[in-house]
Amino acid sequence: MTVLNVAVVTDDRTDVEFYINEKVNQISTIVRQETGTGFRTIRVNAVRLSDLTCDFGVPLYVKLDIEGADDMVLSELFSV
């Protein structure tokens, strides 16, 4: 098993802003939060899902925590 501490993106960015919700742990995301307060921003490394399959092969299982980025990441997953 390989665990990577990266954000999954659908373009060639090598890092992205990650919005950490300091009030509710479960709602931290790379999707810009337009409403509400209590978010702080950090930069995190980013990688395309297709690049991961090139590096590690086609996975038998993928666990993604993709709050708010579901459509973006799933479209990348099924384009591989």
In a domain, 60, yes or no: yes
Dist CA 51 CA 48 (whole Å): 5
pLDDT in tens, the chain (80 residues): 788 888 888 888 899 988 887 776 667 777 776 656 678 889 999 998 888 888 988 878 777 767 666 677 777 766 65
Residue 73's nearest CA partner among 42, 48, 37 is 48
Say if 2 falls within a structural domain: no
Domain count, the chain: 1
Q: Let me know if residue 1 belongs to a domain.
A: no
Domain that holds residue 25: 7-78
pLDDT tens per residue across span 7-20: 888 888 899 988 88
Asked whether residue 53 is domain-assigned, the answer is: yes
Q: 41: which 2 tokens?
A: 């921003």
In a domain, 23, yes or no: yes
Q: Is residue 49 part of a domain?
A: yes
Is residue 42, in this structure, part of any structural domain at all?
yes
Dist CA 10 CA 50 (whole Å) = 9
Q: Is residue 65 part of a domain?
A: yes
